[in-house]
Chains A and B, each alone.
Chain A
Amino acid sequence: DAKTTQPPSMDCAEGRAANLPCNHSTISGNEYVYWYRQIHSQGPQYIIHGLKNNETNEMASLIITEDRKSSTLILPHATLRDTAVYYCIVRVVLDDKIIFGKGTRLHILP
């Protein structure tokens, strides 16, 4: 699996866009970028995934650079309920060996 690097924590004002970066400089051609988040005391929640094109769903947008060495998860209008730890995972497919690293702890400030 390609290694990912994320900042340990970030702050974002409520109502603003939260941009969470992830570096994955050793990503290989068939590896996807997956994003999950875990709100305190709850199970991990799938957010979005992509291969090389930018992706958008009802929760977030995923921007992947052209060289695929980094990506950004965008929460367009952050709310207090978006306070969580966000994990970037790079793999071909997610199987039983899914590993969550340290992730980014996102604090939404009122």
Chain B
Amino acid sequence: DVKVTQSSRYLVKRTGEKVFLECVQDMDHENMFWYRQDPGLGLRLIYFSYDVKMKEKGDIPEGYSVSREKKERFSLILESASTNQTSMYLCASSRQNSNSGNTIYFGEGSWLTVV
């Protein structure tokens, strides 16, 4: 069974705190992604990575950073949490190239509340 595991399912943090969201995949996938999902706004891409130590900004990178030191692990960092970062955060991974279509696998999500 393919697996994308997010370390925390529910978190409550205070404004200004530094927050780490960890994600691990066991499928040896090259690509990893961090999204946030908010009602009415769908999935919005924060950052993605196509290889170790490589990162690219997505559509809404402000206030976030990422780290990919190992192929299987992709971390999302909120440098100084704010209330507008209250959301569900989704990690995902996929293979880089495929001749038979590809799939993106998502983690179960991390619900972050910033108070």
Question: A residues engaging B (CB < 8 A)?
Answer: 32, 34, 41-46, 49-51, 92-100
Contact = CB atoms under 8 A, between A and B. Distances in A.
Given A94-B102, A96-B33, A98-B104, A42 B43 contact: no
Main secondary structure of the interface of B (DSSP, over half): strand
17 contacts: A32-B101, A43-B4, A43-B108, A44-B90, A46-B104, A50-B101, A94-B94, A94-B101, A94-B102, A94-B103, A95-B31, A96-B31, A98-B43, A98-B104, A99-B42, A99-B43, A100-B42
A38 to B, nearest CB: 9
Interface string B69-108: 0000000000000000000101010100010111111111
Interface string B27-45: 0000101000000001101
Interface residues of B, number: 24
Contacts of A44: 90, 106
Please classify the interface of chain A as helix (H, G, I), strand (E, B), loop, or mixed, using the class held by over half of its residues.
Answer: loop
Nearest to A50: B101
A42 B101 contact: no
Given A94-B94, A100-B43, A46 B105 contact: yes
Nearest to A98: B104
Contacts of A51: 100-101
Most buried by B among A44, A50, A51: A44
A65 to B, nearest CB: 18
